[in-house]
Structure 1
Amino acid sequence: MLALLDAFRHQGWQVTFASPAEKSIHRADLPARGINEVNIALNCSSFDDFIRELQPDLVMFDRFMMEEQFGWRVEKHCPQAVRLLDTEDLSCLRHARHQATKQSGNVSLDVSTELLFTEHAKREIAAILRSDLTLMISQAEIDLLTTRFKVDSALLLDSPFMQPPVPEEQQRQLPDFDQRQHFIVIGNFRHAPNWDAVLWLKQTIWPLIRSRLPEAELHIFGAYPPPKATQLHNAQQGFLIKGWADDVNRVMQQARVNLAPLRFGAGLKGKLVDALACGTPSVTTSVGAEGMSGELDWPQPVTDHPEQFANLAVELYTEAHQWRDCQQQGFDLHNQRFDFGRHADTLIKRLQQLRDDLDSHRLANFTGAMLRHHSMKSTQYMAQWIEAKNRK
């Protein structure tokens, strides 16, 4: 999200970040980036006054729930504004894989139509069809949308993480193999794939690693650790719940190997991108590696089997030559795959093209127009009913 906002600001655009969420103590300093912050309310016509006065040229919704809540209001008061949906990941796919893992206990990459075509998916795909353009972080999810959901590719844009390159001088300044120690896991505890990964490590994978590396420690960082997570902390087993990391780069650069044993999930994995930039090789699953390298090859160990996962982690931790090869290939992938300038330029050009050709673009999306005519009314009337009820 910050990279997208920065890309807009680099164009000299005026950017307003409007959110109904409470402000977190960990939030980014948006005003320092030249971005206005505004609090908005759910199910309230005060948003109508706000958006009518603002009259933006472009409105971006963060996830499909925000499009459901505010999309019809934007269309009513700013009909010529380009409506952009940022999915971050295809959440209906993440939920389907979660159910598949619950059923099988295994890593779930491919899922059945029965698990995928849910009410959740209907809502998310409807929001995609109602929008002028949807940003997809993974080409794998674009392929799924166009083949299984029959979404027109003209409504989608491959827009992965946008990162500044890591120059060679900075690469050389990072701690080397001998200067690092221990394993790291990082991820928000409220995100179901991350919590499942911690449990899988605790119950199955970490004991296998620890039996071969009895002095090694696993440092687990993440926001919002619940009591059930902190109770897993066990210093004797080297299984350390660290909680919130004030500086992700610092803790990642101190670790020798990053572990991401994700059994389900979707989108791209920020923890793996951070590890690439920090020169910390990773071991992950097919779900973790999905979409990460685009048309390139993923250069670091991947397996879906716990015993092999442990073996690969131990080898990477102990073999300096392999570790350095993985690190360098990771730098190369990071700088090619996630280059800020290239992806930001592609995004801005697509948005400008949409702005210039919006009417014909919308005429070609009859399904979206139909959904706005019928389905959108239900969310509109529900919001208006809630607002009226709240007045009593």
Structure 2
Amino acid sequence: MASLRENLAVLAVVPWHPYPLHNGGALRAFHLIRQLGRRCSVQAIFPVSNTSSDDLVRKAFNDDVCNVNVHSFEWATQRRAFSRRIRDRWVTLRESRSLQEPTNSLTLALRDTLVESIRRDPPDVVVLSELESLLCSRQIRKICPEARIIVDMHNVNHQLQKQFDARGSKDRLYGPAYDRLLKKESALSKFAEHVFACSQDDLDVFHKLNGDCFQGTVIPNGVDTRSITFDVRRDKHASRTLVYCASLTTRANIDGLLWFHQVIWPMIIRRCPDMRLTVIGSGDDNPQVASVKQDPKVKLVGRVDELQPLYADAGVSICPLRLGSGTRLKILEAMGFGNPVVSTSIGCEGIAVEDGQTIVVRDRPDAFADAIIELASDQLLFNSIRFNARKLVEEHYDWDVAGSAMFQVIESLASSRRSRTGVS
């Protein structure tokens, strides 16, 4: 474990509940903040919907190796009374004008907690998660102008929105449509001095949009390889169960599952009628996947506390995504557990995989089906890919590796901040 720099103060702002770990954004925020908490003093601000969720967050960050002080504020997403919505809208418009930047009701709810935290413990560096947190940057600079601001971008959101629009989806990310997301991501340099991105491809897009007006670093997604037990059984390929781990509350994951089930799955079942599919993740009651749920050969288990038994029971892991940005935690997780992955090109974007060595990449439905059946019948290929993949994850995609890279940047920014202010 890295030595603790208690004289380095970091403020992390996350605009959603980071725990339980219900999606990729929560996983990334949770693990990166814990990594920082092992290296320096961290103040973390999150919204919570009730006392029980607040207790969960505090317990998750409260152990003997993690120096994270949690500040939460109540934020309920349920519909508010009409009079309350009118009042919030009026305050939002007033604050937007005074701050000269977009403001929403989440930002207003966060403001008091943010101001109190900064005034009590002025940070050297502030890490803002995703676009929603950017709305806090002007307030931070007003109170603590010397703090260096980093934004951690989990996706290239305007590209995701463009993909949704191309498929006729009504989904909207954070409310704004494509042009507004593009405008905001083209102005990252106005909000932050440094940008973290999940992949080099994503970082290149942000640099192009902003004219190289900021410094950027790739902080990849990862897995905690110390807590994930690799399945060493040589006959694991004999399992007739496929596994797909994805929250069925996002359009990209739903689209991937429906495409796989409607187009690829029938090809597999015709040739391997004993094959089964297990789908792990929240949203199993989503009406959009009702047809999948009715299939007796498919089991939607919902969100689970322990992934290990389900991955141990399965052979091949699939990632049939046709939409996406960033990097897929579901792939890294499967590799960590020892399940070889068959993915589309979009599904494994941003991960340094090699087709036929650490993963199998197929985009045509028939080729995707062929790859699954081949892995399930070829023990040598099955084990070669999964052992190579585990090594890749351990060396390049462990959260500890990501945490070290992130801390180096933060330490450098803090040093430059202190040299400017004359603080030792």
Question: Is the Cα–Cα contact under 8 Å of residues 342 and 372 in structure 2 kept in the other structure?
Answer: yes
User: 1:327: Cα distance to partner?
Assistant: 0.8
Among candidates 43, 46, 49, match of residue 19 of structure 1: 46
Q: Secondary structure at the match of 2:347?
A: helix
* Residue 260 (structure 2) aligns with: 201
Distance 2:269 2:263 in 1: 11
Shift of 1:138: 0.6
1:35 aligns with 2:63: no
Following the alignment from structure 1 to structure 2, what is the Cα–Cα distance between the partners of residues 208 and 295? 26
Match of 1:212 in 2: 271
Instruction: Read off the aligned partner of 2:212 and give its amino acid letter.
Output: D
Structure 1 residues 64 and 243, CA gap change in structure 2 (3 angstroms): same
CA distance in 1, matches of 2:419, 2:123: 20
SS in 2 for 1:357: helix
Structure 1 CA distance for aligned equivalents of residues 154 and 356 of structure 2: 22
The 8 Å contact of residues 196 and 218 in structure 2, kept in 1 or not, is answered as: yes
| Displacement of 1:250 | 2.8
Measure the CA separation in 1 of the matches of 2:332 and 2:356. 14
SS in 1 for 2:166: helix
User: How many angstroms apart in 2 are the aligned matches of 1:299 and 1:4?
Assistant: 25
- The 1:236–1:175 alpha-carbon spacing in structure 2 relative to 1, beyond 3 Å, is farther
- The structure-2 alpha-carbon separation of the partners of 1:125 and 1:349, relative to structure 1 and needing over 3 Å to count, comes to same
Structure 2 distance, partners of 1:308, 1:295, is 17
Q: Which residue of the partner structure matches residue 112 of structure 2?
A: 46
Give aligned pairs, total. 345
Q: Contact 1:98/1:265 (CA < 8 Å) preserved in 2?
A: no
- The correspondence for 1:299, drawn from 352, 358, 361, is 358
Structure 2: distance between partners of 1:307 and 1:172: 29
Q: Deviations over 1:30-65 (max 9, x none)?
A: 223442222236315523234322322222111111
1:126: which partner in 2? Answer: 187
Corresponding residue for 2:100? Answer: none
Gaps of 5+ in 1: 104-115, 362-392
Structure 2, unmatched stretches of 5+, are 1-28, 75-105, 170-176
Which residue in 1 is equivalent to 2:133?
Answer: 66
Runs ≥4 residues deviating over 6 A: 294-298
Per-residue deviation, 1:358: 4.0
Q: Deviations over 1:96-131 (max 9, x none)?
A: 22233449xxxxxxxxxxxx9722111133235421
% same residue = 20
Over 3 Å counting, the alpha-carbon distance change for 1:31 and 1:296 in structure 2 is farther
Task: Say if 2:198 and 2:221, in contact at 8 Å, map to a contact too.
Answer: yes
- Give the whole-Å Cα distance in 2 for the aligned partners of 1:298 and 1:74: 46
Q: Distance in 2 between matches of 1:214 and 1:170?
A: 30
Q: CA deviation at 1:170?
A: 5.5
TM-score (norm 1): 0.79
Q: Which of the numbers 199, 202, 205 marks the counterpart of 1:138?
A: 199
Contact 2:198-2:219 at 8 Å conserved across structures: yes
Q: Does residue 349 of structure 2 align to residue 322 of structure 1?
A: no
Distance 1:343 1:159 in 2: 6
Residues 238 and 376, structure 2, Cα contact 8 Å, conserved in 1: no
- What is the letter of the counterpart of residue 29 of structure 1? A
Which range moved further: 26-35 or 86-95? 26-35
Q: Counterpart of 1:373?
A: none
Higher strand share: 2
- Aligned partners of 1:353, 1:212: CA distance in 2, in Å? 57
Q: Which residue of 1 aligns with 2:97?
A: none
Distance 1:309 1:128, change over 3 A: farther
C-alpha distance in structure 2 between counterparts of 1:54 and 1:273, whole Å: 36
Q: 1:158 aligns with which of 218, 221, 226?
A: 218
Higher relative contact order (CA 8 A, sep 6+): 1
Letter in 2 for 1:161: N
- Matches of residues 155-234 of structure 1 in structure 2 within 5 Å? 155-165=215-225, 171=230, 173=232, 176-177=235-236, 180-229=239-288, 231-234=290-293
Within 2, Cα distance between the matches of 1:220 and 1:255?
A: 11
- In 2, the alpha carbon distance for the partners of 1:333 and 1:132 equals 31
Alignment of 1:230-269 (within 5 A): 231-234=290-293, 237-269=296-328
Specify the SS of the correspondent of 1:256.
coil
TM-score by length of 2: 0.73
Aligned partner letter, 2:154: E
- State the alpha-carbon separation in 2 of the partners of residues 21 and 195 from structure 1: 26
Q: Deviations over 1:61-106 (max 9, x none)?
A: 11111111x2111111111112111112222222222233449xxx
Contact 1:292 1:298 in 2 (8 A): no
| Helix, strand or coil at the partner of 2:351 | coil
CA distance in 2, matches of 1:297, 1:34: 42
- Seen in structure 2, the aligned counterparts of structure 1 residues 290 and 360 have a Cα distance that, compared at 3 Å, is farther
CA–CA separation in structure 2 for the residues paired with 1:39 and 1:244: 24
In structure 1, C-alpha distance between the alignment counterparts of 2:116 and 2:182, rounded to whole Å: 31
